[in-house]
Structure 1
Amino acid sequence: MLSELVRTPVSELDGVVTRVLGQLARDAGAGWACLFRMDQGRMTPTHAYASEGLPAIDCAPDILLRPVMDRLVAGQTVSVTDCRDWTGCGALGSFVTIPMREDNVLSGVLGLGFAGQHEAGPGMLDRLAAAAGVLETVLWRRQQEKMHIATAQRLEATLAAMPDLLFEITHDGHFAEFSAGPERLMIVPHDQLKGRHYSDLLPADVSEVVRKALKQCLADGRIEGIRYSINLSEKKRWFELTGATKPASEPGRPPTVIFNVRDVTSDTLMRDELTRLGKIVESMSNLVCITDLDENIVWVNAAFERQTGWTLEEIKGRYFGEVIRIPGMDPDNERAVERAVAARVPHSGQTVNQDRWGNRYWIEYNVIPLEDSAGQLVGFVSIETVINRLKEQEAAMALLAQSATEARQRLENAVRALPDGMILLDDQNRVVVANSAYYRIFPQLESYAQPGASLRTVLEKGAELGLFGPGGSKEARAAFVEERIAVYGRAFDADEVQLPDGRWFRRMHTRTSDGGVVIIATDVTARHNQIVALDAANRDLREAEQRLRGTLQAADVGMWEWDLVSNLLHVRGNWAQMLGRQDAEEGTFEMADFLSIVHPDDLERLPSPQAQAEPAGEGFSEFEFRMRHESGHWVWVLSRARVTAWGADGSPRIMSGVHLDVSDRKRLERQLQAGRAYLSEVMDTSIAALAVLNERGEITYANQEAERILALERSALRGRTYNDARWKLETLSGDPLTEEELPFRQAQAKGGIVRDIRFALHLQDGSRRVLSANAVPLMPADGERHVVVSFSDITEELAATVRLEEARTRAEEMSKAKSIFLANMSHEIRTPLNGVLGMAEVLDSIVTAPEQKHMVATIRRSGETLLTVLNSILDMSKIEAGKMVLEEVPLVLSDLLSQVEALHRVKAEEKGLELTVLTSAGADLPRMGDPHRLIQVLNNLLSNAIKFTERGHVRLKVSCRAGKPITFDITDTGVGMTEAQVERVFESFEQADGSMTRRFGGTGLGLSIVRQLVHLMGGTITMHSHAGSGTTVRVVLPLPESNRPVVLTAEPDTGPPDLSFLRDRKVLIADDNFTNRLVLSEMLAQTGVALTLVENGREALNAWQEEMASGTPFDLLLLDITMPVLDGMGALLEIRAQEKSAGLLPVPAIAVTANAMPNQVADYIVGGFDTHLSKPYKRKELLHAVHSLLRS
């Protein structure tokens, strides 16, 4: 039996042990047998046997073994011959216990019981001791096997839970039997690895990494930290390889290597990100300093070292304040920083610091608490921006703003004073402004070319009126309009056109950077008339020349003959007639008489006969001079003469010639010279440089502006080529300008005009200018092709554009800072205001005495006035920033007027005033507009009228004629204003005078906001007032009629909501402000809800988790947004995530916050809140929100 016990498998051992106990009992004559095992210091029965016919006994160790335990521990066999008196032994009369020992420590007991008294002999005890030893050995083996199995199971579970891969690789690179790890990281399943070589499964680059790692591990016994990447499921992942050799199981066999492969993709990406962030911080121009909790410096970046002159090694461990602060310089700021550090909250501001040499500099800083990965505060980070230049610029901004205003005024005056017609369009081709010269040119269009009118409308009306365009059919006019709109779509265009009324205009337009269009119309009719006159003069000149030739042919000229001997002049033909003389066609004059009628200045021009001393028949002299007409004016005469007779001595004797009247030609020549001089002067006074180049690129003409830009005189410019050594042409980016890119070459290649070709010009003095050029090819009369190039120096213009862009960027940053300030201001005011108004409302429901009621009402009225001021400032900020968006929905004026009248009637009756609201027919028709802003305008105007009226009446009269704008007239019999007061009453923060503020209160923003809202709605507002005689305000609004139905957004007030359903509902309130928690709890005190109040989001999350675990979850969450430790958004995000993972319905949540800007409210709803309450709120609003959420 004992041999069977030794051979029995562990799984079948219990049955065999029981049979062995039975055999031992029978051999010893015992009725019972029991086996005890030591388990964690206590004896526990594991196997028992009772002979047939005997009852089972209780083998409790406390009954049988405790009295003999000391002897058993000492290794003694104990025989109790009589135990019938022992409590709990039942039918047992005597028993024998044999200790079972392992490593000389009691590990179990074998016991045999007898029904009567019995004493075992020595032989039996020896056999029992031997059996106990065999049982101990077998049971110890079973225990070890169980431990091995448990260990193997734990190891298997551990390997399965590990995120790493484990492989056993043979010395030659084959996978052994052992592998473990997540299947998702495996290239092939584990069961397909054994016996395969790693190079069959891994990419070549990874195989090379494994080969080197295997070789190094076999050589050194261990490797670690080897990283490589591999693509899994089309995604790149990083792994880290660690390995160690495993000795061979048999001597003489090579060892294997156990490789641990860990997925370090996230770690690698994090390291890369940290490296990048480190480089960014180190290279930042901002000053960065990290301190510990005691504000001792831990680390600074390079920018900090450069600015302060201190190195990290010099100041590490020193107190931050003593390094850069100026003692006593900014005590308020120092206290604010100390409070923020003590409260462990972020803080920002501006202050003056100093470097190691005492040089001061302005900074804008942000101090941020620094937490470790566990969320524990370990120090602070200070990020600073040096704003010396900003401070200097702020000082200059006022001067710049004033200069800009003056420049704008000068520009507007210049536009009004322009002799040319000018019209400015926006980027939608709508009229922005047209000057008076434009209306003088086209007076018929003055009522149409008004701001807001479309370009198409102006063109169509002008074509219809016959002011411009082809006229004729409607289709022709439409085609003309489309053609002009397409032309105005270009960046630039200029041409000359004759209008139907005969006038000539040069029309030019330029697209501005914001997409608008500037159109200039210059009347060039006079110049065209001059050109026509010049053409006519040229024709007259040619005709005169033809007549002269005809006269000569027909001898219709004045002919003369001068006898040099007698000094007499013989004339004939038309000689006398051209001078208006009544002499006969032929006559004789003394030469002195002839010279007396020649212009004195021309006497020297007359030729000397001796100068004509040439052989007869050769040589003519031709000259022009003036002779006096009989009527007194001078006649220009062309004289052509030669010596026709010579004396015997060879001296001239007779000179003959003809006289032609060339007065008309001279007059035309003078006109032509004047025209040329005028054109030359125009080109020389042009603000654009002009140059003419021939086909070889040589300059043949340049005006004065070209001389200035090219730094050469005109005479030095002629004949120079575009690539002259005195200058260098290049692109704006600095590359050489190729010949094909030159403006005159582009014009030649295109065969037409090219515009705004921009390039850079380097001169010999080292200066660099940026030019913009236009070029057009010409074909002069001589047949050689030329190109006219006009160019302008736009260097300063581009620099100004850059400066304007920088100024715009700074303005946007200042606007952003202003928005942040307003949001913070709103939050900081609304939070305490919530406590004031909330507790006042609670107090109002408690007190009953009229005097106390009056006091509470005063508190509430003052708080609501402060809230109105805050909302007015925010409205004004929206308007100034251009962020005020108006609705366009159907509304009914009669409904809105009823609301306005009901709101103000009580106040009017309190002051004893008569309030009258009069409406015309049509007030009940739907119209389009913004009802909220319209009510705001009317409320403000009526409130002012009632406020400033002590006696009499206030009247609102509304005119709603069909097809006309709506007119609102608000008239009062109040204090009135002077003309000077009326002029400034619409300005921001202005009232009629200081006494008004002291007497009636107010910020002076109301009417400013009203005017801005009216203008946003496309309307007008005017005010007429006289001191002591009341005031009349007229508002005209274009509210078009609507065919859409009016949607009622407000439900009728059916009285207070039924709050009985709130009893015993559980509500969690989280707010770091004690007053806010008190207001909420007091407002909900009478509803029967069970409140839980906590101070931050972390406590709220813990409370929610505790209630969920207890099975009594909260019915509603009221969470503040801005809280320490964890804010409301973060807390709700955690709650929503846990609800989703647990499959729970989301608990209703209300954001109770002073951050109530529209964009912030949108963020709350997107973040999981069901609705929000804006601080300060009323109890009615709170109960309505709670009622809506818990009822639904």
Structure 2
Amino acid sequence: MTAPTRSLPEPALAPDELTDPTDAIFRELFEGAPIGMAVLALDERFMKVNATFCKMVGYSNDELRQRTAEDITYGEDIATGRQLAQSLLDGTVRYTGDKRYVHKNGDVLWVSRTASVIRDLQGDPQHFLLMVEDISERKESERALQESRRELETALHANQLIMDNSQDVICTISEDGRFLSLNAACEELWGYTASELTGRQYVDLVHPEDRAKTEQASESLLATGKVTDFVNRYVRKDGTIVDVLWSATWSAKDRIMFCVAHDVTDRARIEKELREAKEEADRANHAKSDFLSRMSHELRTPLNSILGFGQLLDRQTHTETQRPRIRYILSAGRHLLNLINEVLDISRIESGNLQLSLEPVCLEEAIGEAIDLMRPLAAEREIMLSAGCPLQAMTYVLADRQRFKQVLINLLSNAVKYTATQGNVTVSFTDSGNGIIRFIVRDTGAGIPTEKLSRLFTPFDRLGAEQSTVEGTGLGLALCQRLVEAMHGSIGVESALGNGSAFWVELPRAESPFQKLAAQKIGPAPEEISHTGKRRILYIEDNFSNVTLVEQMLAERPALELMTAMQGRVGLDLARKHAPDLVLLDLHLPDLPGWQVLAQLKADQATRDIPVVIISADATAPQIKRLLAAGARAYLTKPFDIAEFFRVLEETVSAAPTVSEEAAA
């Protein structure tokens, strides 16, 4: 509080000079009061303050006696203080109000202050008496409360805006299932206004067929506190059906469900249409596969006659006019046969019926074989075909051997066909060091325009080559891509018009089976096999590396004699001729599937009792079960454990008579 500056008479007696007994009581109350008390001169100088006041503002008694009330008053409150001081001098008995002081450390504190005037016997004002209480905490609480109220009002306003403008229904539902509140969106969704729905049971609107699952969802909500992505059907006021997606939370404290409902009728319709379209596509795909399978048989039968008799004609004496005609017949027939095979392969891949046997395949060996097969075609076109890397090393990739060679031959065939005379085609590979092997078929052909690269692996799209004299179906690269991806690899190309092309394939690196052989020490031969007579084993396998592996494994078993066959029919002939004690059979052979070889062995009186052990990279349970049921004695999956291999040999060979015993008999 402040007072206007003016000349006032000095008080006759200072408060601490009072001698009346009642003055002693006043002094005791003044000093011991739990609130701040101060006596001020009429010019606002502090004359006396108690300890509570000093502690409140941070100044000592002596420091305050050298200051006025204005010196410790917050700037914005000085003018009001002067007005109140003047009103006291003008006759106001006392006033109580809030103001702000500035603490000695600079902090602002709120106080509740009661002020009055001490007058003499003549009624003239002598001093101001102040009683002050620190209300900073109360003011802070009031400020926080006001801030909370503002935030609440803002939140309520925002919530109201959201509810008013939301296209989704936002509602509260009681524990017994009655609508308590809804926003205006309910009329758009269900056709009812909020007032029409308030108090109604929500289940009354649910489609009768969905009420049971809706009640289950409500029970789950009460039990878990939350339900999301629940869809049910509601009947609108006009009788139409809408699909509604619900998200809801349960407040156990308020016993209320807070819910949001979203119209997903269009989405549900689209999903239904997509399901129906997929089912239709699946039916069409199955029909296509059935058609292709039947057509394959129907086309192969006449093709067999065309190619067979064509080859017979080619072997006979004919005129110069007949010779090219016969060659045209054979060329067209083989072209059609390749087309049938490629279409069937793609169909099998797309329908998921292509069976692959993934095993370690020697890359150098496969490249060498593919180059040997393609060399006559390259020589005919005067194209240099070579390996751009040494073929003596043993690098293995995880692949299906037959399909891997098919990819290699397809890429080499394309490179040779689209490279001009005197050109070059090279095959090489690199090891990235991260478990991936990349092999590359590079040619010096015309290259591929950049704008056509995206169509390169599209079935039947020859990128305009159909206008040229180069024969092709447009299926080779599409088939390569699908085969490589089925073997968990990737394929791509780097090409530019006029600079040739480089087709690359990446496949996972595989451990050499010979490394595994070296790591597993072969123990002494089982006693049951150590007879003076030899036991004869026939291994039917087209993978030379696998044959070599078994040969090395059996090298320390002098009691075992190994015969090998690279084709199924050759294996059948050897089995009938030599009656081996055991047949080891691979499932993926170049001429006959392994299961057909097994069936013929079991159907022939001469071979039906020979035990057959399947060795395959196909470890699927249905495949194993089917072949064991077909008569196989055991089934080993590649890469097989050597100890397990010899255990199976011991169990199957030991019971059979030896070759010498048969001879003696």
Residue 753 (1) aligns with residue 226 (2)? yes
| Aligned residue number for residue 286 of structure 2 | 816
Residue 677 (1) aligns with residue 157 (2)? yes
8 Å CA contact 2:447–2:496 kept in 1: the answer is yes
TM, length-normalised to structure 1: 0.31
Alignment CA distance shift 1:687-1:969 (3 Å): farther
1:956, distance to aligned residue in structure 2 (A) = 0.6
1:888, distance to aligned residue in structure 2 (A) = 1.3
| Aligned residue number for residue 251 of structure 2 | 778
| Aligned residue number for residue 831 of structure 1 | 301
| Aligned residue number for residue 701 of structure 1 | 181
| Aligned residue number for residue 741 of structure 1 | 215
| Aligned residue number for residue 368 of structure 2 | 898
Alignment CA distance shift 1:917-1:828 (3 Å): same
1:1027, distance to aligned residue in structure 2 (A) = 2.0
2:409 is matched with which residue: 939, 947, 950?
A: 939
- Counterpart secondary structure, 2:366: helix
1:968, distance to aligned residue in structure 2 (A) = 1.0
8 Å CA contact 1:922–1:962 kept in 2: the answer is no
1:870, distance to aligned residue in structure 2 (A) = 1.8
CA distance in 2, matches of 1:873, 1:956: 27
| Aligned residue number for residue 1024 of structure 1 | 494
CA distance in 1, matches of 2:72, 2:200: 58
| Aligned residue number for residue 440 of structure 2 | 969
1:589, distance to aligned residue in structure 2 (A) = 11
Residue 732 (1) aligns with residue 205 (2)? no
- Counterpart secondary structure, 2:81: coil
1:864, distance to aligned residue in structure 2 (A) = 0.8
1:978, distance to aligned residue in structure 2 (A) = 1.5
| Aligned residue number for residue 450 of structure 2 | 979
CA distance in 1, matches of 2:315, 2:297: 27
1:696, distance to aligned residue in structure 2 (A) = 5.0
Residue 999 (1) aligns with residue 469 (2)? yes
Alignment CA distance shift 1:910-1:850 (3 Å): farther
CA distance in 2, matches of 1:816, 1:789: 45
| Aligned residue number for residue 239 of structure 2 | 766
Structure 1 residue identity aligned to 2:338: T
8 Å CA contact 2:169–2:261 kept in 1: the answer is yes
| Aligned residue number for residue 1049 of structure 1 | 542
Structure 2 residue identity aligned to 1:732: E
Structure 1 residue identity aligned to 2:449: T
CA distance in 2, matches of 1:759, 1:574: 73
1:922, distance to aligned residue in structure 2 (A) = 8.1
Structure 1 residue identity aligned to 2:463: A
Residue 877 (1) aligns with residue 351 (2)? no
1:755, distance to aligned residue in structure 2 (A) = 5.4
Q: In terms of Rg, which structure is larger?
A: 1
1:865 is matched with which residue: 335, 349, 353?
A: 335
| Aligned residue number for residue 721 of structure 1 | 200
| Aligned residue number for residue 171 of structure 2 | 691
Structure 1 residue identity aligned to 2:388: L
| Aligned residue number for residue 64 of structure 2 | none
Structure 1 residues 245-264: Cα deviation after superposition (integer angstroms, max 9, x where no partner): xxxxxxxxxxxxxxxxxxxx
- Counterpart secondary structure, 1:885: coil
Residue 586 (1) aligns with residue 82 (2)? yes
8 Å CA contact 1:1021–1:1034 kept in 2: the answer is yes
- Counterpart secondary structure, 2:402: helix
CA distance in 2, matches of 1:742, 1:880: 41
Map residues 148-547 of structure 1 onto 2, 5 A cutoff: none
Structure 2 residue identity aligned to 1:762: V
Alignment CA distance shift 1:1019-1:760 (3 Å): closer
CA distance in 1, matches of 2:498, 2:220: 75
- Counterpart secondary structure, 1:732: helix
Alignment CA distance shift 1:679-1:723 (3 Å): closer
| Aligned residue number for residue 517 of structure 1 | none
8 Å CA contact 2:427–2:439 kept in 1: the answer is yes
8 Å CA contact 2:221–2:250 kept in 1: the answer is yes
Structure 2 residue identity aligned to 1:871: N
| Aligned residue number for residue 119 of structure 2 | none
Alignment CA distance shift 1:774-1:672 (3 Å): closer
Higher relative contact order (CA 8 A, sep 6+): 2
1:803, distance to aligned residue in structure 2 (A) = 3.0
CA distance in 1, matches of 2:297, 2:320: 34
Map residues 1150-1169 of structure 1 onto 2, 5 A cutoff: none
CA distance in 2, matches of 1:810, 1:731: 30
Alignment CA distance shift 1:554-1:831 (3 Å): farther
CA distance in 2, matches of 1:764, 1:949: 74
- Counterpart secondary structure, 1:903: helix
CA distance in 2, matches of 1:747, 1:930: 53
8 Å CA contact 1:923–1:960 kept in 2: the answer is no
Structure 1 residue identity aligned to 2:401: P
Unaligned 5+ residue runs, structure 2?
A: 1-34, 39-67, 88-95, 98-109, 113-134, 518-538, 544-564, 574-602, 609-628, 631-665
CA distance in 2, matches of 1:742, 1:723: 14
Alignment CA distance shift 1:664-1:579 (3 Å): farther
Structure 2 residue identity aligned to 1:915: L
CA distance in 2, matches of 1:865, 1:842: 18
8 Å CA contact 2:179–2:197 kept in 1: the answer is yes
8 Å CA contact 2:441–2:503 kept in 1: the answer is yes
Structure 1 residue identity aligned to 2:469: R
8 Å CA contact 1:729–1:760 kept in 2: the answer is yes
Structure 2 residue identity aligned to 1:777: W
Give the share of equivalent positions with the same residue, in percent. Answer: 26
1:1001, distance to aligned residue in structure 2 (A) = 2.1
Alignment CA distance shift 1:577-1:886 (3 Å): farther
Structure 2 residue identity aligned to 1:700: L
Unaligned 5+ residue runs, structure 1?
A: 1-552, 557-571, 592-619, 623-636, 640-658, 1060-1138, 1147-1165, 1168-1192
- Counterpart secondary structure, 2:493: strand
Map residues 568-607 of structure 1 onto 2, 5 A cutoff: 580=76, 583=79, 585-587=81-83
8 Å CA contact 2:358–2:400 kept in 1: the answer is yes
- Counterpart secondary structure, 2:259: strand
1:811, distance to aligned residue in structure 2 (A) = 1.7
CA distance in 2, matches of 1:730, 1:575: 78
- Counterpart secondary structure, 2:404: helix
8 Å CA contact 2:438–2:507 kept in 1: the answer is yes
- The RMSD of aligned alpha carbons is 4.8
CA distance in 1, matches of 2:37, 2:189: 58
